[in-house]
Amino acid sequence: MDREFLTDLFADFGPVTIRKMFSGHGISVDGVNFALSLRAGLFFRADEVTIPDFEAEGSKPFQYSTRAKTVLVNSYWELPARLFDDSAELAQWARAALAAAQRAKVKKRPKKKAATKKVAPKQSLAKKAAKKTARREGKAKRAYRSK
């Protein structure tokens, strides 16, 4: 699928950004990627809310093979072929995919980093023992003076 075809396909959905990605294109709105167009087909972002719709249509999740194994990517599911001929319903599925991508983005927000403590460099055991002895001697001198 080329850029022009994808632009026409999403015409009823609204303006999308299409960028080269892997062996195809990534499709996004406002920086949120919700679809992938690859050699294997068109895949929409899915989550626990939308996966049952894909399963009901007989769709399968995106997968690819490496030398060692086949990797299943459960967050992107193949768009049912019948939707290529129904642009209004494709727009509904695209909205659902965008919502799934936005929910995933909210879940992944980075947590604020805790303030880092300054850690003193490691000291040798001999230096630690010497400091401890010096403290004890200082306490003994103070105790003697106060008498």
Give the SS3 label for residue 118. coil
**Cβ–Cβ under 8 Å, residues 66 and 73:** no
User: So what's the pLDDT on residue 113?
Assistant: 63
Q: Which amino acid, one-letter code, is at 120?
A: A
User: So what's the pLDDT on residue 138?
Assistant: 73
One pLDDT digit (tens) per residue for the chain, 147 residues: 788 899 899 999 989 999 998 789 999 999 999 999 998 789 999 999 999 999 999 999 999 889 999 999 999 999 999 999 999 999 999 999 999 999 988 776 666 665 555 555 666 777 777 787 887 777 666 666 666
User: So what's the pLDDT on residue 58?
Assistant: 94
Domains and their CATH numbers in the chain:
3-107 (3.30.1460.30)
User: So what's the pLDDT on residue 107?
Assistant: 72
Tell me, yes or no, if the pTM score tops 0.85: no
User: So what's the pLDDT on residue 39?
Assistant: 83
H helix intervals, the chain? 3-9, 51-56, 87-107, 125-146
Give the SS3 label for residue 50. coil
Can you tell me which residue has the tokens 């894909």? Answer: 54
Strands (E), the chain: 17-21, 24-29, 32-38, 41-45, 61-65, 70-78
Give the SS3 label for residue 10. coil
Please state, in angstroms and rounded to a whole number, the distance separating the CA atoms of residues 26 and 104.
16
User: So what's the pLDDT on residue 3?
Assistant: 87
Structure tokens at 124: 């040798």
Residues in Cβ contact with 86 at an 8 Å cutoff, skipping those fewer than 6 apart: none
